[in-house]
């Protein structure tokens, strides 16, 4: 990757002199004919000579020579006759993200399956009590699910664009894949900015409670409960959740901005910026998708009682004690705990059904 980027910058900055590419291309057929090595009966092995055609092509492709093309056409990089870096970029894409993305996501998935089989759902000591505490407002739940829906749509369509060729063509054939790819591209481009908007809504509505504080380090040292006796201290959000939040915000912003650079090529950005944006976009998306699989697992089947918080905005007080003891204290002090009956009334259902569902 570093070598690749070095190459990029090197190529860009060494092009300082100018030659008219058009005249070169007109000369090309004659010169390249002369460049074909001719075998002669007196020299059965052939004659070793520098191929003038290769020199010419090097100039045309503006590889490592100091050449800049000139064109009547006004626009970004219109003087580039053949973009050699494009080939490098395409190869890098196929040899790296296209190859490794399915592996990374597959490994994360398998690890979670294994984890679930070995450890099962992370339960709550003493089970659920049925007494609930308000954790998220309606707006916060809506913002979370909007972000999640839009993200998942982008993840699926993005992966189709990235690895659809090798994975889907064998399944559906070229014609159907071309439809899926075209639909995915349009869908991906249209939903990208919606992701940025929902990300900003998430940023503003959750930021206050995600600032790191003193007790968070202890959570990290205990590996989030996986090291030691298993009981870790946490505030409203624990260290793991806060870190997830900042990963979503920061990588999400990087993906969004690089995506905007890609989706609007008419703002004067050249190929280099586009190619780098593309790689940043792809790597950011793969990392975020991989971690989001872990988050989705932890937020649903992985942890007893978590999902209720994002569904109804309320969580069981025993869940709070188990995962957020410092916030639990606040809940008791401020008399925020409501009975199962009150919760059922607020949700418009009978208390026992709410409890049964959780169990």
Q: Which residues bind ligand HEM (CB under 6 A)?
A: 135, 144, 147-148, 151-152, 202, 206, 210, 237, 241-242, 244-245, 248, 292, 295-296, 299-300, 306-307, 309-310
Q: Which is nearer to ligand HEM, 151 or 219 (CB)?
A: 151
Our finding on whether 202 is near another protein (CB under 8 A) is no
Select from another protein, ligand HEM, none the partner in contact with residue 190, using the beta carbon and a kind-dependent cut-off of 5 to 8 Å: another protein
Q: Write down the least CB distance from residue 302 to another protein, Å.
A: 22
Per-residue 3-state assignment (H helix, E strand, C coil) for the chain:
CHHHHHHHHHHHHHCCCECCHHHHHHHHHHHHHHHCCCCECCECCCCCCCCHHHHHHHHHCCCCCCCECCCCCCCCCCCCCCCHHHHHHHHHHHHCHHHHHHHHHHHHHHHHHHHHHHHCCECCCCCCCCCEEECCCHHHHHHHHHHHHHHHHHHHHHHHHHHHHHHHHHHHCHHHHHHHHHHHHHHHHHHHHHHHHHHHHHHHHHHHHHCCCCCHHHHHHCHHHCCCCCCCCCCCCCHHHHHHHHHHHHHHHHHHHHHHHHHCHHHCCCHHHHHHHHHHHHHHHHHHHHHHHHHHHHHHHHECCHHHHHHHCEEEHHHHHHHCHHHHHHHHHCCCCECHHHHHHHHCCCHHHHHHHHC
Task: Retrieve residue 336's tokens.
Answer: 């925020």
Q: Are 8 and 66 in contact (CB under 8 A)?
A: no
What is the rounded distance in angstroms from the CA atom of residue 296 to the CA atom of residue 298? 6
Among 98, 104, 108, 141, interactor with another protein by CB under 8 A: 141
Select from another protein, ligand HEM, none the partner in contact with residue 312, using the beta carbon and a kind-dependent cut-off of 5 to 8 Å: another protein
Our finding on whether 291 is near another protein (CB under 8 A) is no
Q: Which is nearer to another protein, 30 or 264 (CB)?
A: 264
Our finding on whether 190 is near another protein (CB under 8 A) is yes
Q: Are 134 and 336 in contact (CB under 8 A)?
A: yes
Q: Which is nearer to another protein, 80 or 248 (CB)?
A: 248
Our finding on whether 125 is near another protein (CB under 8 A) is no
Q: Write down the least CB distance from residue 161 to ligand HEM, Å.
A: 18
Select from another protein, ligand HEM, none the partner in contact with residue 151, using the beta carbon and a kind-dependent cut-off of 5 to 8 Å: ligand HEM
Our finding on whether 139 is near another protein (CB under 8 A) is yes
Among candidate residues 235, 199, 208, 206, the one with its CA nearest the CA of residue 219: 235
Q: Are 285 and 255 in contact (CB under 8 A)?
A: yes
Q: Are 248 and 210 in contact (CB under 8 A)?
A: no
Select from another protein, ligand HEM, none the partner in contact with residue 237, using the beta carbon and a kind-dependent cut-off of 5 to 8 Å: ligand HEM
Select from another protein, ligand HEM, none the partner in contact with residue 292, using the beta carbon and a kind-dependent cut-off of 5 to 8 Å: ligand HEM
Select from ligand HEM, another protein, none the partner in contact with residue 250, using the beta carbon and a kind-dependent cut-off of 5 to 8 Å: none
Q: Which is nearer to ligand HEM, 247 or 260 (CB)?
A: 247
Select from ligand HEM, another protein, none the partner in contact with residue 347, using the beta carbon and a kind-dependent cut-off of 5 to 8 Å: another protein
Residue nearest to ligand HEM (CB): 299
Mask 170-189, x = binds another protein (CB under 8 A)?
--------xx--xx-xxx--
What is the rounded distance in angstroms from the CA atom of residue 19 to the CA atom of residue 73? 16
Our finding on whether 287 is near another protein (CB under 8 A) is no
Q: Which is nearer to ligand HEM, 101 or 248 (CB)?
A: 248
Q: Which is nearer to ligand HEM, 56 or 287 (CB)?
A: 287
Select from ligand HEM, another protein, none the partner in contact with residue 296, using the beta carbon and a kind-dependent cut-off of 5 to 8 Å: ligand HEM
Residues that bind another protein (CB under 8 A): 138-139, 141-142, 145-146, 149-150, 178-179, 182-183, 185-187, 190-191, 193-194, 197-198, 311-313, 346-348
């Amino acid at each position: 990757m570093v070598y690749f980027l070095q190459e990029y910058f090197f190529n860009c900055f060494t092009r300082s002199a100018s030659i008219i590419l058009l005249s070169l291309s007109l000369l090309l057929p004659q010169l390249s004919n002369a460049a074909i090595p001719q075998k002669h009966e007196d020299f059965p092995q052939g004659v070793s000579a520098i191929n003038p055609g290769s020199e010419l092509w090097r100039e045309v492709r503006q590889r490592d020579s100091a050449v800049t093309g000139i064109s009547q056409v006004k626009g970004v990089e219109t003087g580039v006759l053949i973009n050699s870096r494009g080939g490098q970029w395409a190869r890098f894409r196929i040899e790296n993200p296209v190859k490794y993305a399915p592996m990374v996501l597959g490994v994360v998935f398998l690890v979670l399956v294994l984890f679930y089989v070995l450890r099962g759902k992370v339960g709550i000591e003493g089970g659920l009590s049925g007494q609930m505490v308000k954790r998220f407002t309606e707006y916060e739940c809506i913002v979370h699910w909007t972000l999640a829906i839009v993200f998942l749509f982008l993840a699926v369509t993005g992966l189709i664009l990235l690895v659809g060729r090798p994975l889907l063509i064998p399944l559906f054939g070229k014609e159907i894949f071309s439809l899926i790819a075209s639909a995915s591209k349009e869908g991906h481009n249209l939903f990208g900015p919606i992701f940025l908007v929902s990300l900003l809504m998430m940023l503003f509505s959750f930021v206050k409670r995600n600032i790191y504080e003193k007790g968070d380090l202890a959570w990290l040292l205990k590996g989030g409960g996986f090291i030691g006796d298993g009981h870790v201290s946490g505030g409203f959000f624990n260290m793991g959740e806060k870190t997830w939040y900042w990963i979503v915000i920061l990588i999400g912003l990087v993906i969004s901005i690089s995506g905007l650079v890609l989706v609007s090529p008419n703002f004067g950005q050249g190929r280099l910026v586009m190619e780098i944006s593309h790689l940043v976009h792809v790597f950011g998306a793969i990392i975020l998708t991989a971690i989001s699989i872990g988050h989705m697992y932890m937020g649903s089947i992985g942890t007893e009682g978590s999902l209720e918080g994002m569904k109804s905005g309320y969580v069981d007080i025993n869940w709070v004690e188990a995962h957020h003891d410092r916030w639990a204290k606040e809940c008791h002090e401020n008399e925020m705990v409501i009975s199962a009956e009150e919760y059922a009334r607020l949700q418009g259902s009978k208390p026992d059904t709410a409890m049964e569902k959780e169990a």
